[in-house]
Amino acid sequence: MAIYDLIIRDGYVVFPDEVKKSDLAIRDGVIVKIGDRLDGKAKEEYEASGLHIFPGMIDVHVHFSEPGRAHWEGFETGSHMMAAGGCTTYFDMPLNGIPSTIDRKALLEKAEIGERKSVIDFGLWGGLVPGNIDDLEALANSGVIGFKAFLSATGNEEFERADDFTLLHGMKRIAELGKVLALHAESDPITQWLKQEKEKDGLFSADDYAATRPVLAEAEAVERAITYAELTGCPLHFVHISSGLAIEKIESAKRRGLDVTVETCPHYLLFNHGDLFEKGAVAKCAPPLREREEQERLITCLMEGKFDMISSDHSPCPYELKDSATNNLFEAWGGISGGQFSLMSMIELAVLHDIPLHKVAEWTASAPAERFGLSSRKGQIKNGMDADLAIVSLNGVHEVLDSNFFAKHKQSIYMGHTFPCQITATFNRGKMVYQVDTISEGVQGEWLKVIDSCIAVNN
């Protein structure tokens, strides 16, 4: 009689402080034994000889736009794409769906759709917008990961940016609720004023767009948010930080003892303003891709441990919202479609810069799990943890093509890029959800509700 459901044999396992050849035994979706040449029978065995086994990525920042805009990207295609990239848990942002996730009713509606359609586990962010302070407690009690607010225009009329009074009142309440506030930190007055100046002069190029969202706009917003956090005691998480100056301000806050974490995205590390100039709207995001010198500064910050984690900020849209802006970049949707490529991007950077693979696992799995209340079950490969695993070949390559990109719309800055590695399989709680360009049938993810820093799962 089998004593395990699955044994993964002979892989190079990426542990928190080393890479070591090991077998993994899994029962009921949980890792129950780790060792060299494990004895015992299993219902299934997977041969991982010559392959690396990473903890499944936890991507804390994606936009799937469902309900209401599933034609942009929904839970089905979105989760397929994430699984194909070695991701086993993602957090969906609150703003691009209709309705936005700014009250309990909207949260439960979105969660129900996710539970039906997602092939991997997921969490949900709630929103902080003008007028919903009284909704924050119900959202927190219902298990949101935390709350998201914008300091600049969102691009969606359903989800307004937080003015300073909303921010202060919201931070105070979020601190009382024991949650984290995630912030898109760009100064709205600076970006809007600069945009109006460009539009007045009829200037709409890539250079003009980048000039309206300078490093100073990001740094000012970061500094203001940190000041408000000092006043209110609110934990902060800065999303998609794109400049060394912003990192300096965040590092200063950390040294003063503030509860602050920060992410950046692979597109800021692999690409730069030259790609926006060359490729146009497909490379437009906010903050924008920076000049090469700033890109190199970000890589240095990463290697010095100044970024806590990596997320994709997968923000897709229909083709026409990119293609219609050939002569005016300001009219294009500002988002990078790339959730499938985050883990491979970080492995590429590790290869290029001689970064230990366990640091990649930290940035993509253990640090997000620790920050957002999932570390009792997820984020590391060890006994008692969910068997969330990405099987990676460092001998293979992955060229991004229409045929192997699982997003709804096959337009991305990554199209044609070749990674020096390949995701060969992904396991979510011990079940294979992806193998070599194929999504498994009959697999289903779970909504992970974080209440009092513990995971609650809808059964």
pLDDT beneath 70: ranges in the chain: 1, 324-326, 452-459
- Core vs surface per residue 7-40: b (16+ CB within 10 A) or e: bbbbbbbbbeeebeebbbbbbebbbbbbeeebee
The predicted structure's pLDDT at residue 253: 98
Predicted confidence at residue 459, as pLDDT, reads: 42
pLDDT score for 1: 56
User: How high is the pLDDT of residue 155?
Assistant: 85
Q: Residue 196: name the closest of 325, 330, 335 by CA.
A: 330
For the chain, which domains are there?
Answer: 4-53+382-405+414-457 (2.30.40.10), 56-371 (3.20.20.140)
- Sign of the Cα pseudo-torsion (11, 55, 426, 315, in order): negative
pTM attached to this predicted model: 0.96
Are 160 and 129 a contacting pair, CB within 8 Å? yes
The per-residue pLDDT for 454 is 61
Question: CA-CA distances (angstroms) from residue 230 to 223, 258, 418?
Answer: 11, 7, 44
Integer Cα distance of 145 and 123 in angstroms: 6
pLDDT in tens, 396-409: 999 999 999 999 99
Confidence (pLDDT) at 325: 55
